[in-house]
Structure 1
Amino acid sequence: MTHREPTIHHPALMVTCPRCESVPGAHCFTPSGSRLPDGRVHRDRADAHRNRQAA
């Protein structure tokens, strides 16, 4: 069986989240440790992704 990299559907998941410190590819988590609903990411992470592309 061949190894396949996971598909990232949300582009902001390509950067580390500065708020919850989730690694690239992992979902964001709430302070209580549960995953954010519906594949959402923290605004800080989305901003970090936008700023990365603008640079």
Structure 2
Amino acid sequence: MARREPTIHNPALVVTCPRCRCVPGAPCLDTRGSRLKDGRVHRDRTAFHRDREARRRA
């Protein structure tokens, strides 16, 4: 059976989180090491993704 890559529903999950250092594709963790609720990510990660996309398009 062919291996399939997981579907990423949140575009910010494509980059590494600068705050909690979670790898691309992994959800962000809080200070205790637990996943954030409802697949949320840190604002820093979202901003980093937007900046990266803007630089790529320019």
Q: TM-score, length-normalised on structure 1?
A: 0.98
List alignment gaps of at least 5 residues for structure 2.
none
List alignment gaps of at least 5 residues for structure 1.
none
Aligned residues: 55
Please list, as runs of the form range in 1=range in 2, the aligned pairs for 1:3-14 lying within 5 A after superposition.
Answer: 3-14=3-14
* Structure number, greater radius of gyration: 2
Q: Deviations over 1:1-52 (max 9, x none)?
A: 1100011000000000000000000000001000000010000000000000
Please list, as runs of the form range in 1=range in 2, the aligned pairs for 1:1-55 lying within 5 A after superposition.
Answer: 1-55=1-55
Q: Distance in 2 between matches of 1:52 and 1:43?
A: 14
**Percent identity, aligned pairs only?**
67
Q: TM-score, length-normalised on structure 2?
A: 0.93
1:10 partner letter: N
